[in-house]
């Protein structure tokens, strides 16, 4: 397939060259000389200002019959404190109808005109055909000046926020994102605070109305319009629709100062359910786009960790195979500190090794110059992306806005490519030494203490512990010792007794369980069928079968295609009328200890493989299975699956989990048991 695709591409290129009359031979022995940087002409915006202070920038571009507009409220970071979540709720309520037009009518008209419209707590934007521009502008002005804040919509947005907060409680990525900002900036900083169930519930409809009245002011707003318009028409239309927007005084707010730690340290948050550790090495930077270091800093970050060719990626992924990818990012901010962050999600067992590699790469980058090849490739990447971005009218709009709000020279973007090309290897090393901290960084790690801490404690960094809300905490409790007399056999027998009795479970000939969930707009049905020697799982979405897995003594098949033998060999032990029958008979499955699952002690039976590893958790008190973890590692890549079980239900004297909750892509999905059978409903045809 790849060869066929390459042949097609080559043929297309050849035909393209022939069509241009290109028949001369190319001398490939000489590298082509770089031409001069292309001339960038963004178009000078024409400007005007309304009496209420709204500043308008217009860039006429008549190449296509399209117009884009962006309204920005230049308010800066807003601290919400005990009502964190207010801006999220307020933003969600904007654009859902106005005082003059209902929500349904508003949305329907936007769709009918084929416009792309967005509005939030601090901005609004749209893209439309130029013939519809006057009406879309009128609708936008209405949405901005006359939002319809109903109790019904408020309760809906608040409920969605609370649901999102709850769904992130056990997400390593969500906890890590909150912790990184909270620990670096502090919770008293707009960038460090985060929404909690308590703060979200503190928000009232009156708060939303007051927020709008306080922060939606034209004298602090910029409207940028780019496209197939005439300046005089725009001025007339904007004046007509925005002139009555009342200006006001913005509240005074002093952003707290931010400081790095005195000495590099590890900030650790224990997530017992984590199958990977989320690592971020972070230090603050005082960098603005107007800073002379800006372009060198961009290239330094690109070379260090700005993509698949970055040093971090080549080390942690390509060389070590610790992660899917490792990247870095350097920010800029006009009002407060930004950050330089290097990050990756890595396997638990290599958490300490990954930290060592991160710090080694930072030190090496500071101490030595980048190569000419690295610098050339980084410049080429930035030049290419910059030129391509200019094709998007919204990019032109954001550039025009940046020049005004970030106090940039008028020719900032017109000379962008020259400034990129002017950066030297010496410049890159200089900014690396200035902005990439080796000595004053926070190494924020969210992971499973049981797996990660023992080796992290061997490193030279002090470790401070925090809970999931980024509050200081004591060192997490490690695995509890196994009581005398408790073995893998006794744990599994307790499970069998809990679901129906040891003798009855071991005598089963077959089991069948069907689960259903609603996700991604579809009904998903998963049916699992088992015998003592075979297993099948069929998943359908919207009534169509999308996957079928079959396991027998001959191997493991997905949609009738065999999985690699080494991988299949480490999966077939799970065959049995219950997975736990496979654990019982598998000599590689060991009782490892006691861990905490949702605040309760659980025995852990782990199975370690070269490719497939798993852990199954059994509640100490009830004996029931409460969680499964599976980690698949192949060719340097790791896939992790977690499922929790609860609400057991009895069918024909045997209990099955009434709910299974796990991840389906980025979404957490709960499958509910809709039916189960024992010793019936399973035939040999199910395993073909």
Give the pLDDT confidence of 522-559 residue by residue, as tens digits. 899 999 999 999 999 999 998 899 999 999 988 999 99
CA-based angle 169:170:175, to the nearest 5? 65
Give which of 687, 663, 657, 688 is closest to 513, Cα–Cα.
657
Which CATH number is correct for 46-242, 3.40.50.1100, 3.30.70.3460, 3.30.830.10, 3.50.50.60? Answer: 3.30.830.10
CA-based angle 424:425:431, to the nearest 5? 90
Question: Is the model's pLDDT at 17 over the cut of 50?
Answer: no
More confident residue, 423 or 5: 423
Question: Is the model's pLDDT at 134 over the cut of 70?
Answer: yes
Contact, 103 vs 148, CB < 8 A?
yes
Mean pLDDT along residues 24-43: 54
Give which of 352, 396, 348, 414 is closest to 227, Cα–Cα.
396
pTM of the full structure: 0.73
Residue 37 is given by DSSP the state: P
Q: How far, in Å, CA of 320 to CA of 353, rounded? A: 10
Q: What is the pLDDT of residue 636?
A: 59
* Beta strands per DSSP E along 413-534: 442-447, 462-466, 472-473, 510-519, 522-531
Which pLDDT band, with edges at 50, 70 and 90, does 24 fall under?
Answer: very low
Question: Is the model's pLDDT at 108 over the cut of 50?
Answer: yes
Q: What is the pLDDT of residue 321?
A: 87
Contact, 96 vs 103, CB < 8 A?
yes
pLDDT tens digits, 357-382: 999 999 999 999 999 999 999 999 99
Q: What is the pLDDT of residue 355?
A: 97
Which pLDDT band, with edges at 50, 70 and 90, does 633 fall under?
Answer: confident
pLDDT tens digits, 568-584: 999 999 999 999 999 99
Q: What is the pLDDT of residue 33?
A: 54
pLDDT tens digits, 306-319: 999 999 999 999 99
Q: How far, in Å, CA of 345 to CA of 329, rounded? A: 15
* Tokens standing for residue 149: 């804040």
Residue 684 is given by DSSP the state: G
Which CATH number is 488-687 given? 2.50.20
Q: What is the pLDDT of residue 595?
A: 87
Burial state string for 406-436 with b = 16 or more CB within 10 A and e = fewer than 16 = eebeeebbeebbebbeebebebbbbbbebbb
Q: How far, in Å, CA of 437 to CA of 281, rounded? A: 9
Domains 46-242 and 265-473 share a fold: yes
pLDDT tens digits, 248-299: 998 989 999 999 999 999 999 999 888 899 999 999 999 999 999 999 999 9
Which pLDDT band, with edges at 50, 70 and 90, does 37 fall under?
Answer: low
Question: Is the model's pLDDT at 26 over the cut of 70?
Answer: no
Q: How many CB atoms lie within 10 A of CB 643?
A: 17
Q: How far, in Å, CA of 605 to CA of 592, rounded? A: 6
Provide DSSP, 120-189: -SSEEEEEEEGGGHHHHHHHHHHHHHSB---HHHHHHHHHHHHHHHHHTTT-HHHHHHHHHHHHHH-TTS
Question: Is the model's pLDDT at 469 over the cut of 80?
Answer: yes
Which pLDDT band, with edges at 50, 70 and 90, does 666 fall under?
Answer: low
Question: Is the model's pLDDT at 330 over the cut of 50?
Answer: yes
Which pLDDT band, with edges at 50, 70 and 90, does 453 fall under?
Answer: very high
Length of the chain: 688
Q: How far, in Å, CA of 429 to CA of 276, rounded? A: 33
- Report domain extents, the chain: 46-242, 265-473, 488-687
* Tokens standing for residue 593: 């200890």
> Rg of the chain over CA atoms, in angstroms?
30
* Tokens standing for residue 18: 């022939």
Question: Is the model's pLDDT at 474 over the cut of 80?
Answer: yes
Continuous segment of H or E residues that includes residue 100: none
Mean pLDDT along residues 613-630: 94
pLDDT tens digits, 477-507: 777 789 999 999 999 999 999 999 999 999 9
Residue located via tokens 């804040």: 149
Q: How far, in Å, CA of 541 to CA of 520, rounded? A: 10
Q: What is the pLDDT of residue 6?
A: 40
Continuous segment of H or E residues that includes residue 50: none
Residues 6 or more apart in contact with residue 541 via CB below 8 angstroms: 520, 522, 523, 524
Which pLDDT band, with edges at 50, 70 and 90, does 667 fall under?
Answer: low
* Tokens standing for residue 404: 């005004």
Residue 449 is given by DSSP the state: H
Q: In Å, how far from its chain's centre is CA 440?
A: 26
Q: What is the pLDDT of residue 294?
A: 98
Q: What is the pLDDT of residue 25?
A: 43
Question: Is the model's pLDDT at 350 over the cut of 60?
Answer: yes
Contact, 676 vs 512, CB < 8 A?
yes
CA-based angle 141:142:144, to the nearest 5? 65
Continuous segment of H or E residues that includes residue 242: helix 231-242
Contact, 343 vs 281, CB < 8 A?
yes
Q: How far is CA 218 from CA 134, 209, 402, 575, in A?
A: 20, 17, 18, 67
- Which three-class secondary structure state does DSSP give residue 634? strand
Query: What is the β-pairing status of strands 510-519 and 472-473?
Result: unpaired
pLDDT tens digits, 196-236: 999 999 999 999 999 999 999 999 999 999 999 999 999 99
Instruction: Name residue 650's beta-bridge partners.
Output: 655
Instruction: Name residue 255's beta-bridge partners.
Output: none
| CATH class of the domain comprising 265-473 | alpha beta
Q: What is the pLDDT of residue 229?
A: 96
- Which three-class secondary structure state does DSSP give residue 484? coil
Give me the half-sphere count of Cα atoms (radius 13 Å) on the Cβ side of residue 39.
2
pLDDT tens digits, 40-49: 767 678 999 9
CA-based angle 252:282:375, to the nearest 5? 110
Residue 591 is given by DSSP the state: E
């Amino acid at each position: 397939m790849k060869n066929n695709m390459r042949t097609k591409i080559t043929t297309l290129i050849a035909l393209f060259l022939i069509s241009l009359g290109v028949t001369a031979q190319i001398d490939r022995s000489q590298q082509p000389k770089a031409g001069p940087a292309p001339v960038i002409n963004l178009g000078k915006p024409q400007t005007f200002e309304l009496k209420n202070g709204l500043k308008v920038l217009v860039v006429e571009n008549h190449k296509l019959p399209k117009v884009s507009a962006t309204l920005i409220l230049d308010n800066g970071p807003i601290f919400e404190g005990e009502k964190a979540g207010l801006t999220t709720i307020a933003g969600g309520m904007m654009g859902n109808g106005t005082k003059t037009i209902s929500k349904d009518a508003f949305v329907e008209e936007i769709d009918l005109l084929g416009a792309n419209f967005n509005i939030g707590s601090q901005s609004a934007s749209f893209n439309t055909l130029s013939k519809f521009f006057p009406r879309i502008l009128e609708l936008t002005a209405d949405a901005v000046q006359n939002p319809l804040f109903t109790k019904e919509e408020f309760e809906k947005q608040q409920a969605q926020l609370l649901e999102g907060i709850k769904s992130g409680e056990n997400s390593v990525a969500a906890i890590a994102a909150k912790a990184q900002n909270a620990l670096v900036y502090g919770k008293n900083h707009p960038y460090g605070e985060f929404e909690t169930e308590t703060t979200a519930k503190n928000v009232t409809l009156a708060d939303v109305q007051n927020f709008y009245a306080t922060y939606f002011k034209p004298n602090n707003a910029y409207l940028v319009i780019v496209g197939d318009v005439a300046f005089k028409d725009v001025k007339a239309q904007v004046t007509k629709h925005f002139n009555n927007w009342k200006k006001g005084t913005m509240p005074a707010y002093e952003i707290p100062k931010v400081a790095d730690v005195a000495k590099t340290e590890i900030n650790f948050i224990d997530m017992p359910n984590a199958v990977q550790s989320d690592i971020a090495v972070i230090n603050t930077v005082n960098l603005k786009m107007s800073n002379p270091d800006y372009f060198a800093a961009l290239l330094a970050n690109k070379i260090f960790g700005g993509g698949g060719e970055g040093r971090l990626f080549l080390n942690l992924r390509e060389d070590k195979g610790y992660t899917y990818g490792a990247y870095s990012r350097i920010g800029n901010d006009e009002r407060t500190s930004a950050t330089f962050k290097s990050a990756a999600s890595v396997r638990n067992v290599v958490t300490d090794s990954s930290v060592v590699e991160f710090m080694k790469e930072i030190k090496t980058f500071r101490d030595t110059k980048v190569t000419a090849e690295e610098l050339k490739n980084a410049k080429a990447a930035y030049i290419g992306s910059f030129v391509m971005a200019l094709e998007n009218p919204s990019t032109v709009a954001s550039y025009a806005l940046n020049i005004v709000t970030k106090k940039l020279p008028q020719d900032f973007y017109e000379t962008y490519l020259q400034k990129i090309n002017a950066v030297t290897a010496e410049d890159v090393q200089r900014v690396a030494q200035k902005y990439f901290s080796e000595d004053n960084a926070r190494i924020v790690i969210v992971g499973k203490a049981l797996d990660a801490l023992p080796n992290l404690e061997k490193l030279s960094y002090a470790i401070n512990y925090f809970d999931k809300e980024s509050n200081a905490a004591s060192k997490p409790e490690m695995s509890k010792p196994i009581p005398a007399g408790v073995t893998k056999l006794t744990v599994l027998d307790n499970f069998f007794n809990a679901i129906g009795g040891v003798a009855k479970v071991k005598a089963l000939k077959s089991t069948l369980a069907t689960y259903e969930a609603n996700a991604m707009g579809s009904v998903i049905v998963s049916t699992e069928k088992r015998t003592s020697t075979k297993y099948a799982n069929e998943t359908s979405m919207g009534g169509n079968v999308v996957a079928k897995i079959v396991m027998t003594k001959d191997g493991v098949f997905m949609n009738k295609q065999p999985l690699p033998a080494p991988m299949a060999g480490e999966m077939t032990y799970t065959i049995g009328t219950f997975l736990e029958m496979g654990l019982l008979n598998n000599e590689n499955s060991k009782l490892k200890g006691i861990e905490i699952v949702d605040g309760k002690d659980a025995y852990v039976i782990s199975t370690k493989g070269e490719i497939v590893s798993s852990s199954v958790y059994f509640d100490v008190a009830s004996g029931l299975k409460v969680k499964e973890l599976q980690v698949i590692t192949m060719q340097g890549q790791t896939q992790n699956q977690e499922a929790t079980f609860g609400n057991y239900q009895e069918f024909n004297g045997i209990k099955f989990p009434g709910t299974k909750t796990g991840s389906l892509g980025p979404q957490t999905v709960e499958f509910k048991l809709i039916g189960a059978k024992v010793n019936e409903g399973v035939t040999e045809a199910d395993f073909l």
